[in-house]
Structures are given as structure tokens and as C-alpha cells.
Amino acid sequence: MSKIVPVARKTAAESQDRPRGKGQQFAMAYPDACGIDIGSSSHFVAVPADRDGESVREFRAFTADLQALVAWLRQCQITAVAMESTGVYWIPLYEMLDEAGFEVHLVNARHVKSVPGRKSDVLDCQWLQQLMTFGLLRGAFRPADEVCALRAVWRHRDMLLSYQARHVQHLQKALTQMNVQLHHVITDLMGVTGQAIVRAIIAGERNAEVLAALRDRRIKADEAEIARSLQGSWRDEHLFSSKQALALYDAYAEQIAECDVELERLLGALKAHELPDDGLGRPKRRTPAKNAVRHFDTRSALFEASGVDLTRIPGIDTSTALKVISEVGTDLRRFPTVKHFTSWMGLCPGTKISGGKVLSSATKRCSNRAAQALRMAAQALRRSQSALGAYHRRLCARMDRPKAITATAHKLARLIYFMLTKGQPYVDVGQQYYEDRYRERVFQNLTKRAHTLGFQLIPVAAGRIRKFTALWSSHPNPLGAVPAPT
């Protein structure tokens, strides 16, 4: 008769003390580590069990409670902290712990949630503490405080621009409801001509000829066509909506101007280099972009902060360069290689491999703002007469356009990394140089392929090629027998 004997289960700590085979034992990378589960109203903190009788505690999100949390961690002799990036609730505690001298690791929640059965806050913070102890968590990239301040103001400016654009849409909707089709004859409703006409309408002018006379000389449409588009119903309710939309547009313009002043101050705090004696040379564009910073010389300020002129790269203007600097900063020592940098931006190919077979090489889904700016810059290279422009067009011929844009953005990220880390200026070799190099590579590959198959490539003169092309096009059946060039 068999007998059931109860078996005592070992705790997690006892299981870790069990001797392991060669190469299987985990070393304690951070023995003085704690884990914090971030919440909106309270935070759960777990320290090693031998540091305090109550190893897991809950602290409210108030400043006084956060100060008590820091004091308790010092009492427990904690040096490293692991926390998840939950919304924006982690920022006050992160800044307080960083100022107190702790080594704070902001970890990705996806790297922790993959283990099932740890759904409560108490178990979550304990799991963070255990993983951090054995060095199984990797901290996220966070730039210096000065760069974080610059990033916050630039993101706020982007938000104001999006709000301002919505009121332009409201203004255009009100004009359309009055059958004022001004947006069909001019490109930008908020350009020089558009604003002059709209402000005159709000001021009370209704004569189409008088309004059309406000046309700028650079507008392609003539005054007669503009006057025809300005014959509307002029209903009071839509005029009132137009007035409100224009007032809000101007209000946001004032706030954006204040952001530009603050950006100038923050960029001045990052100044670490001097301008060259001969200056930076002529800019690529005579007039800045519509939403670019115009309050100060952004290009010179960016050079003084980084030591290089990123706007020399085709496709990158001052706004794109400022967005990249505000997101990653000027010190890229946190990224050991350029591959780490492009992987963090989400621009490098994926490596999903199983059994030696590549299952997918798609880039990971990432909402990196710097990568989005570089993708926009890559789209601007479609008609660029530069080496990067020829490179982008070559990629568009090989693959679909979204993949080509991502690949070109990846190349731009590599250029930015080398410029910021090595301090070398960018020199454009030109479109013809790239085409010649590409022709060279194709010729070498064809020569090698022909040699493998037992053939030999013989160059053909240009005149013989033209003669052969004419014979081919004039033949009644091009797919039939065509005489070879002689």
C-alpha cells in the first residue's frame, strides 16, 4: 500500500542557494537593489528581505511621502533602484532619487510583464527587485537635465503648433460654408496673401476686387481668379466663427514666440563650442521653413551646442536638427556603437531568427520622435541632387516606399551619430559620385558572375549601343531574332 508523503516546497531564496551546474549560476550584480512599482496615487517599494522587517512598503505619491521613501532607502543601504516607466507618474520620483545619488534604472514594462503570475503590485515590485539584483534589467536612455528641459519645451512647442493647425482648419471650414473658395487658388491660407485677405474680411471688407488686390506678386493665380473665389454668402454666424478661429490662431502664435525665447535660453546653456572664424557659410535654404524657429539664429546655436553643423546633411533643416538634439542630446557615450544608437531609435532591421531561418527583418514598432523627424527628412530627399538623394531613389527602385524611407532614415541616423561622436563635418560628394560608384559595383558583380559561368564581359562603344537600340525599337517583333551589334 503506497503512502503519500507531503513534500516541503522551497522558497525562491532557498532555490537560488541551490548549487547549479557549471555556467548556470547567476552572479549578484546589484546586491543593494530595490524595486518600485509606480502608480498614480501610491508606489510599492520592495527591498531585500534582510534589510528591514517589513521589506515591502507602500508610499503615497505626495512629496512628503516621496521624501520618506528616499530616507527609508538610505536606511536600508540601497544603492540601485529599478522602476517601470508608467505614464508620467515616475518622473517626480525619478528626479528625486537621481538628485539623492541613487543609481536609477528606468526599465521597459514589456521586459517584466512577460513572466506570468505576477499581477499584483506587491509581487510586481518584488519581481523588479529580484531581476535587478541579478542584473537582468537594462535601464532606458534618459539624457541630461539640460537636454530634458530643452526637450520638454520643444515638445510643448510642437503641441502648440498642432493646436494652431486645428484652428486653421476651423477657419477654412467657415470660409467653405460661405462658399469662399480661397484655398483653391492659393497654396497656404496662412501665408502672406492668405492672411492679408482673411484679416481684411474679418475687418469688414466684402469687395472681391479690393480683396484680390492684396495678392502677393509671387502668387501664380491672377487677381481675376482670386476675385472669383472670394464671392461668397458672408453669413454672420460663419464670420463670427472665422473671427474666433483667427483670434485663437494669433493667441497660439504668441505662445509659440514665447517658446522660441525659452529655446534660445536653453540652447545657450548647452553652449560648449565656438563658431569658426569664417562662419558656417550660406544656409541651404534662403528662407526658413514655415514653422521653423525665427526668433534667433538656430543654426549657430545648434553648432555651439554640438560642435557640428547637422544642417549640412541633405534633407535636415534647423527644425529637424533641433528635434534630434532635444531628444538625444549632444553626448552619445551612452550608446557604445552606432548599432546601439539606431536600434534605440527603432530604425535598424529586426533579427527575428529561428532555426537559422530569418522569420522577419522588419523594424520594431517604436514611437521615437527623433526617428519620426528623420523619416520626414528622408522623404525630402526624393528630389535632392545629392549623394543621399541618389541613394534614396535607388532604394525606392528596389523596395516599396515606406521601407526605403526607413532605410534612408537609418543612414541619416548613422551620419548624425558619427558627426556627434567624432566631430567631423559632413561633406556631400554629389550625385554623380554616387552613380559612378554604383556603376562600378554593378560592373564588378557582373564580371564576377560571368567568370563563374565561364563567360567574359566585353565593353561596347556608345555608338554601337545606340545602333543596337535603334534596331531593337524598329524591329517588327522585338522578342524575335534581332541582329547583334556589329
What confidence tier does 14 reach under pLDDT thresholds 50, 70, 90?
very low
Note the Cα 15 to chain centre separation in Å. 44
pLDDT score at 373:
95
- The stretch 197-206 carries a mean pLDDT of 94
88/37 Cα distance (integer angstroms): 13
pLDDT digits (tens, 9 = 90+) for 353-395: 777 787 787 888 888 999 999 999 999 999 888 999 999 999 9
Nearest to 375 by CA among 330, 324, 409, 351: 409
Residue 347, pLDDT above cutoff 80: yes
Pick the residue with more confidence: 187 or 96? Answer: 96
- The stretch 159-170 carries a mean pLDDT of 96
87/71 Cα distance (integer angstroms): 25
- The stretch 432-441 carries a mean pLDDT of 86
In the chain, how long is the greatest CA-to-CA distance?
109
- The stretch 62-84 carries a mean pLDDT of 94
- Is there a contact between 128 and 38 (Cβ–Cβ < 8 Å)? no
Local structure of residue 56 (DSSP, 8 states): E
Q: Residue 76 to residues 70, 84, 92, 132: CA-CA distances in angstroms?
A: 10, 21, 21, 16
pLDDT digits (tens, 9 = 90+) for 95-154: 999 999 999 999 877 776 665 555 565 678 888 898 898 888 888 889 999 999 999 999
Pick the residue with more confidence: 43 or 481? Answer: 43
What confidence tier does 47 reach under pLDDT thresholds 50, 70, 90?
very high
- Neighbour tally for 232: CB within 10 Å: 19
pLDDT score at 118:
57
Residue 283, pLDDT above cutoff 50: yes
Residue 2, pLDDT above cutoff 90: no
pLDDT digits (tens, 9 = 90+) for 443-470: 899 999 988 988 888 877 655 556 655 6
Query: What are the beta bridge partners of residue 84?
Result: 107
Range scoring the smallest mean pLDDT among 211-215, 254-258, 287-291, 475-479: 475-479
Count of residues in the chain: 486
pLDDT score at 9:
38
N-to-C CA span, the chain = 101
Pick the residue with more confidence: 167 or 295? Answer: 167
The mean predicted confidence, pLDDT, of the chain is 86
Q: Residue 93 to residues 44, 61, 65, 78, 102: CA-CA distances in angstroms?
A: 12, 9, 10, 15, 11
- Is there a contact between 409 and 371 (Cβ–Cβ < 8 Å)? yes
- Is there a contact between 307 and 340 (Cβ–Cβ < 8 Å)? no
Sheet holding 42-46: strands in order across?
Answer: 56-60, 42-46, 33-37, 80-84, 103-107
pLDDT score at 13:
43
The DSSP bridge pattern shows strands 80-84 and 103-107 to be: parallel
- Is there a contact between 81 and 47 (Cβ–Cβ < 8 Å)? no
Q: Which three cell numbers stand for residue 404?
A: 526605403
pLDDT score at 7:
37
pLDDT digits (tens, 9 = 90+) for 208-259: 999 999 999 888 889 999 999 999 899 999 999 999 999 999 999 999 999 9
Q: Which three cell numbers stand for residue 246?
A: 483667427
Residue 434, pLDDT above cutoff 80: yes
204/207 Cα distance (integer angstroms): 9
Pick the residue with more confidence: 420 or 119? Answer: 420
- The stretch 398-408 carries a mean pLDDT of 92
- Residues 6+ away with beta carbon under 8 Å from 93: 36, 38, 43, 66, 69, 83
pLDDT digits (tens, 9 = 90+) for 18-36: 444 455 566 788 999 999 9
213/58 Cα distance (integer angstroms): 70
What confidence tier does 477 reach under pLDDT thresholds 50, 70, 90?
low
Pick the residue with more confidence: 465 or 286? Answer: 286
What confidence tier does 44 reach under pLDDT thresholds 50, 70, 90?
very high
321/280 Cα distance (integer angstroms): 15
- Cell numbers 537560488: residue: 16
- Neighbour tally for 237: CB within 10 Å: 10
100/104 Cα distance (integer angstroms): 10
Residue 476, pLDDT above cutoff 80: no
What confidence tier does 432 reach under pLDDT thresholds 50, 70, 90?
confident
What confidence tier does 278 reach under pLDDT thresholds 50, 70, 90?
confident
Percent of the chain that is helix, strand, coil (3-state, to 5): 50, 5, 40
219/465 Cα distance (integer angstroms): 46
472/480 Cα distance (integer angstroms): 10
406/298 Cα distance (integer angstroms): 27
43/36 Cα distance (integer angstroms): 7
97/106 Cα distance (integer angstroms): 12
Local structure of residue 34 (DSSP, 8 states): E
pLDDT score at 439:
86
Note the Cα 39 to chain centre separation in Å. 27
Q: Would you call 22 exposed, middle or buried from its count of C-beta atoms within 10 A (0-12, 13-18, 19+)?
A: exposed
pLDDT score at 24:
52
Give the CA count within 13 Å in the CB-facing half-sphere of 253.
12
